[in-house]
Structure formats: C-alpha cells, structure tokens
C-alpha cells in the first residue's frame, strides 16, 4: 500500500476528503488475475470505478471492458488513446454490454455496432431485434448466489429450464446467441457458487449442441472477492476452483472464456483520507465526525455491506471509537467499532481498500461534494 508519508504529502497538497488511486496496484492485481486464470480474458467492469484514467491503464494492459449503459460505453470509447481508426473495432471485439435489461435509447445509439449483449428474457430479445439487430447475444443464466455479499440472482438470470426456449426465440427473430454468462454475486465468499454455475452452464451448452447450435462463449461474470477482511478466500483459492471446472467442463479451446472483474482489480488500489471535523463522547464511546461518509466514498457500508476500517497518523493508547459522516442523517455512520488513539479536530485519518464502489456511487447529499481523486503511478 501507499506509504503514510506519501499519503500525508498528497493530502497536504490537495486537501480532504481525498481518494488516492495507485495504478501500480491496479497493474499488479491485473497481472495476478491473468497469472492465476490463464484461460480467462478479463473484461474490467466499469461500474466498480469509472475513472477514465483506470480505463486507460487497463486498456494498455490488454483488458476488455464490461459496460452497463451507453454512458459507460462512452467512458471507454473516449478513454482509448492511440488507435483512432480502430476504436469501433475494439468496442465490438473487446467490450460486452453486460446489463441484461437495456434502455431503448442506448440500443438505438449502438445500432451500428455489433456488440455482445447479455439478455435473460423474451421481451429483451424483441427490444434488441427492433432497435439493435447487429448485436451478438449472450444469455445470462441464473446460478446460485449463496453467501455472496451482494446477491444478484433475484433480479437477473434466466432459469435453466427456459434457456433453450430463449435461444430458439432469439433465432426466430434472426438473432444469434453466441454464448452464456453467469454471475455468482458480488464479493462472493462461497467458492462452491462457481462450481455449481459451471455445471449448470455446461448442461445448457450440451442441450444447444443436441439441436445443432454451437455456443462459443462463456462469460463467468465477476464476484471475485477483495480482501476487506481476513476471512475472505484468497483469489488463488477461487482461481483454483475455476480452473478445475474449466478443465472439467470447458476444455474445448475453441470456447472463449471471459470474466468481468471489477472489485478485485481496483478495491485495494485506493486510500481515502478524511479530516476530523467534530468530536463527542456518546455512551462512553468517542465519536469522530469526518468530512466524508456513506453518501459519498463510504456508500459501500450501505450498498455492499462492507466494513471499512481506519488508521491514524498518530500513535498512542487505542480507544474504542466511532467514525461517522458529515451529513445530518443518522444513517451516516461508517464504523462504530474502530480502535484509534486520541485525536483532535483537524487531524487526518485514512481508510485503505476504498477503490471499488466508492466514488462510483457518491452523491451530493446535504450539499457535501464527493472526495477529490488523485491518481499516482500512472
């Protein structure tokens, strides 16, 4: 991680609240992904952190991109440098529109492209056929999300019993289903979800083969856990299970396998620095009021059930403390169980592993602006 002395220097120059994004760590995480999953092509999930500088770094590393809207398409398109005559081909070949239900205006804007697009229902097929016929379809399959921190299966994914009907329905409209996709849930800590998902998707591949349809793509989604806590399974252990299942179910080298890592690539690449604006003793616990909160950088406390932790630049006897945000909403509590030395108004503290789903979902609630972002080691 970034050294404390460097964090202080950057905060002194830029003020707080501040998010420092370390691109060396992003590159390291990307290389770890490729080393441990050599068969899988990573398509960075823009939603995790849509900063254009991150897109540029990962593009140079050879990543593809998972987009969920026309706006995210534009972020990728505008960030790509040095290949002006090849942008459209790159977007067709190295992006996937992985939102199973898309806005009509987005489909219209993408009508001249031949992007891969996920879907999971009959009406979506009709929409794509009407507004974006050049699309190459990828069927999103419902798979177990058991014990994933953010469960997605109740909103997306076709039940395996209707998958062949959907593939045939797309064919009726003159659309080609290129492959299947699944998502085991965000911050997946139950590795068995992957094993079950591979088995379900293999069965659908076989059913398609039996009626003469050759599927050629498997998108294994995201969910790769970031190490927020010590009990989170290591990426290496997750990759081991994935590799075993690829070998067992999808050993055909002609089947392209992609994934949508987001959180894993960027979570550990950022540090957030905040300033103490207030201090009070409540029920024998010290409350520190800081200038960032759950409506800004620390929204993951609510949306992702992530427990962020804080460190001080001072030393001393540690006392049980609470860190709460600046708004007038009682919901704005980041952590009620921190252990910090005695701190004063104006002191700075910092939280690591704040690169995913933080600035991406920040608001201006109560008029408080999102944290400033500084990129280093670009």
Q: pLDDT (tens digit, 9 = 90+) per residue, 65-74? A: 999 999 999 9
Would residue 185 count as lying in a domain?
A: yes
Would residue 378 count as lying in a domain?
A: no
Which residue is it, tokens 């408080």? 368
Domain C-terminal end among 219, 251, 266: 266
Domain C-terminal end among 233, 266, 299: 266
Name the active-site residue from 132, 163, 188, 328: 328
pLDDT at residue 229, rounded to an integer: 80
How many Cβ atoms from other residues are within 10 Å of residue 60's Cβ? 14
- State which residues form the domain around 324: 4-18+268-372
Would residue 178 count as lying in a domain?
A: yes
Q: In the numeric block, which tokens belong to residue 203?
A: 């069965």
**Co-location of 211 and 230 in the same domain:** yes
**Co-location of 186 and 272 in the same domain:** no
Q: Is pLDDT of 230 > 70?
A: yes
Q: Is pLDDT of 205 > 70?
A: yes
Q: Is pLDDT of 318 > 60?
A: yes
pLDDT at residue 268, rounded to an integer: 97
Domain C-terminal end among 217, 234, 266: 266
Number of domains in the chain: 2
**Co-location of 248 and 305 in the same domain:** no
Mean pLDDT across the stretch 160-169? 94
pLDDT at residue 232, rounded to an integer: 81
> What CATH number is associated with residue 78?
3.20.20.10
**Co-location of 110 and 184 in the same domain:** yes
**Co-location of 289 and 198 in the same domain:** no
How many Cβ atoms from other residues are within 10 Å of residue 264's Cβ? 26
Share of the chain above pLDDT 90, in %: 81
Mean pLDDT of the chain: 93
Would residue 377 count as lying in a domain?
A: no
**Co-location of 199 and 290 in the same domain:** no
**Co-location of 98 and 245 in the same domain:** yes
| HSE (side-chain half, CA atoms, 13 Å) at 368 | 21
Mean pLDDT across the stretch 132-154? 75
Q: Is pLDDT of 186 > 70?
A: no
Would residue 257 count as lying in a domain?
A: yes
pLDDT at residue 154, rounded to an integer: 59
Distance of CA 1 to the CA centre of its chain: 20
Q: Which element (helix H / strand E) includes 60?
A: helix 52-61
- Round to whole Å and give the CA distance between 248 and 241: 11
Residue ranges of E strands in the chain: 18-22, 40-45, 64-67, 95-97, 116-119, 136-140, 148-150, 177-181, 186-188, 217-219, 256-259, 270-282, 285-290, 311-312, 319-324, 333-340, 348-352, 372-376
Is 328 catalytic? The answer is yes
**Co-location of 12 and 72 in the same domain:** no
Mean pLDDT across the stretch 73-88? 87
**Co-location of 228 and 327 in the same domain:** no
> What CATH number is associated with residue 313?
2.40.37.10
Q: In the numeric block, which tokens belong to residue 186?
A: 């965000």
**Co-location of 119 and 255 in the same domain:** yes
């Amino acid at each position: 991680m970034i050294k404390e002395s460097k964090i202080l220097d950057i905060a002194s120059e830029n003020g707080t609240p501040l998010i420092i994004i370390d691109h060396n760590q992003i590159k390291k995480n990307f290389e770890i992904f490729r080393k441990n999953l050599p068969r899988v092509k990573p398509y960075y999930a823009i939603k995790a952190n849509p900063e254009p500088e991150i897109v540029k770094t990962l593009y140079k590393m050879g990543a593809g991109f998972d987009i969920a809207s026309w706006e995210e398409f534009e972020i990728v398109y505008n960030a790509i440098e040095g290949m002006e005559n090849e942008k459209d081909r790159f977007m067709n070949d190295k992006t996937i529109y992985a939102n199973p239900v898309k806005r009509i205006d987005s489909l219209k804007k993408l009508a001249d492209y031949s992007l891969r697009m996920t879907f999971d229902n009959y009406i979506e097929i009709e929409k794509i056929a009407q507004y974006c016929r050049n699309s190459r379809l990828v069927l999103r399959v419902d798979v177990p999300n058991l014990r994933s921190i953010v469960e997605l299966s109740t909103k997306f994914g076709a039940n395996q019993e209707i998958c062949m009907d959907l593939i045939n329905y797309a064919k009726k409209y003159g659309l080609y289903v290129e492959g299947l996709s699944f998502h085991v849930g965000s911050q997946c800590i139950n590795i068995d979800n992957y094993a079950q998902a591979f088995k379900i998707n293999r069965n659908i591949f076989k059913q398609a083969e039996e009626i003469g349809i050759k599927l050629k793509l498997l998108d294994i989604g995201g969910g790769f856990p970031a190490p927020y806590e010590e009990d989170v399974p290591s990426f290496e252990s997750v990759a081991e299970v994935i590799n075993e299942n690829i070998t067992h179910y999808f050993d055909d080298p002609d089947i392209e396998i992609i994934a949508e890592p987001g959180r894993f690539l960027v979570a550990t690449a950022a540090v957030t620095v905040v300033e103490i604006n207030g201090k009070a003793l409540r029920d024998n616990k010290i409350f520190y009021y800081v200038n960032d909160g759950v409506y800004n950088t620390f929204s993951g406390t609510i949306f992702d059930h992530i427990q962020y932790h804080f460190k001080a630049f001072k030393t001393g006897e540690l006392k049980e403390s609470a860190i709460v945000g600046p708004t007038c909403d009682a919901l704005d509590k980041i952590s009620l169980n921190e252990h910090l030395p005695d701190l004063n108004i104006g002191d700075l503290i910092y939280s690591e592993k704040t690169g995913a789903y933080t600035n991406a979902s920040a608001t201006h609630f109560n008029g408080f602006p999102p944290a400033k972002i500084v990129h280093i080691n670009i």
